Structure 1
Amino acid sequence: MIYGLEIRNVKSNDLDAIMRVENEAWPIEARAPKEKFEERLKVFPNGFFIAVLNDEIVGVTTSQIIKYNPKNPPNSWTEITGDGHISESHNPNGKAVYVVSLGVSPKGRPEGKGIGVGTALLERQKQLTKELGKEYLVLSARVPSYDSFCKTRGNIPIEVYVNLRRNDGLPEDIELRFYERAGLKQVKICPNTMDDAESRNYGVMMEWKA
């Protein structure tokens, strides 16, 4: 872990700083309003973590527990999370931790380069999965390089795009690459997963078995 980086559960007085991270980390159509974070804190505080570096919040992740069948994974992020509210979608008896959000501010990515903040937050969600005795950690990954790829190199089907690999064997897409590097695998392409122009509204369900 980065020297001086602390991953801890959130407190109610952290919410204003969390909103700064949310606004810096995501395109406007993908940002969650403060009331959704307040609801996530109320419903499942154990799955709400922040990354603190030099006394400043630089990353945020939230989660819920869901029923999960690996042979028939769920579809859109909107459906799985109740559009990010989680009050009706969180099921303590489920067997999977579902990562609702994970965002890192530019201060957690100096000079545009990742320094491990996102990885540390994801590892904490994986640790939570084990602590709770759940079988899986799952999430809906964006494919934020898809639209720009198609505009510069020609339109290709999403099924082809998610399987494009670099010379090191990792995905061409920056977010799929991040999650595969962390040990998750792609299990399902999900159209209309959320309002996300960069991903052309696609998402990819990803899974890690505890």
Structure 2
Amino acid sequence: MSIYRKDIYVFDGDRPVKALIRSYTEADFEGLIRIQQESFPPPFSPELWWNEEQLGNHVRLFPEGALCVEIEGELAASMTGMLVNYNPGDPDHSWVEMTDAGYICNHLADGNTLYVVDIGARPAYRKLGLGKWLMLSMYEVVVRLNLQRLLGGGRLPGYDRVADEMSAQDYVQAVIEGKLKDPVLTFLLRCGRTPVRLMADYLDDEESHNYAMLMEWRNPFLPQES
């Protein structure tokens, strides 16, 4: 098992703030569930918040994909991944299918792709840019494990505001062209993720009308598919 630990400074405006990005453990479960509750309030389904059985699987099956950020002793953000075998020609999938509903019992130790199961930050800490730091840290895991890519479905929580005016595909295109901003899709683009395709019925998510944009980051040290 490889333990991840990285001390950095993040910024609250112009003020540097010490932060620790590290592997999470069983001792962190209460704080991780709090992150979920604060990150994904209703109308997001509370049934999709982590429970202790899921978190136990994360640290047991793939500890390299279980990361959190600690600020002054408080858990502020977390990110969870698992390994899958992915082929760009594969059919669409749902979050439940790909992640075993967050239990990751289908994690493949010899998989070629790190799949993002979840990322979230407590609202009080979001101005510190912790989500981007977690994403960059998970890219480091991709490189260390010699994987082909990081992959995951990004919610479209801003789509609900314009769903009566445009299709989900047109909404995504407008965000990519900079005509609109989406809290998740714009964030992923800023993190270096690139669009793969729009997927329907990805997650029970009222704000996104159940759509998600499959987004990837390819390992720059490996040959790329055409």
Structure with greater helix percent: 1
Q: What TM-score results when the alignment is normalised by the length of structure 2?
A: 0.83
Q: Could you give the per-residue CA deviations for residues 38-86 of structure 1, whole angstroms, max 9, x where no partner exists?
A: 2222211111000011110000111000101124364211111111111
**Maintained 8 Å contact 1:144/1:174:** yes
**Maintained 8 Å contact 2:196/2:214:** yes
Q: For residues 17-36 of structure 1, what are the structure 2 equivalents within 5 Å? A: 17-27=31-41, 28-29=44-45, 30-36=48-54
C-alpha distance in 1, partners of 2:30/2:148?
33
Gap regions ≥5 residues in structure 1: none
Corresponding residue for residue 41 of structure 1? 59
Moved over 3 A (4+): 71-74
C-alpha distance in 2, partners of 1:171/1:133?
35
Give the alignment's Cα RMSD to 1 decimal. Answer: 1.7
Structure with greater strand percent: 2
Letter in 2 for 1:78: V
Corresponding residue for residue 163 of structure 1? 173
Task: Report sequence identity in percent.
Answer: 28
2:193 to 184, 197, 205: 184
Asked if 1:193 corresponds to 2:202, the answer is yes
Q: CA deviation at 1:33?
A: 2.5
Q: What TM-score results when the alignment is normalised by the length of structure 1?
A: 0.89
Letter in 1 for 2:67: F
**Maintained 8 Å contact 1:144/1:199:** yes
SS of match in other structure, 2:108: coil
Letter in 2 for 1:99: V
2:24 to 4, 7, 10: 10
Letter in 1 for 2:101: D
Provide the aligned length of Structure 1 versus Structure 2.
201
Q: CA deviation at 1:147?
A: 1.0
Instruction: Choose between structure 1 and 2 for higher RCO, CA contacts under 8 A separated by at least 6 residues.
Output: 1
Letter in 2 for 1:202: Y
Change (3 A) 1:33 1:149: farther
Change (3 A) 1:157 1:124: same
Gap regions ≥5 residues in structure 2: 1-8, 11-16, 220-226
C-alpha distance in 2, partners of 1:206/1:94?
18
Corresponding residue for residue 113 of structure 2? 96
Letter in 2 for 1:44: F
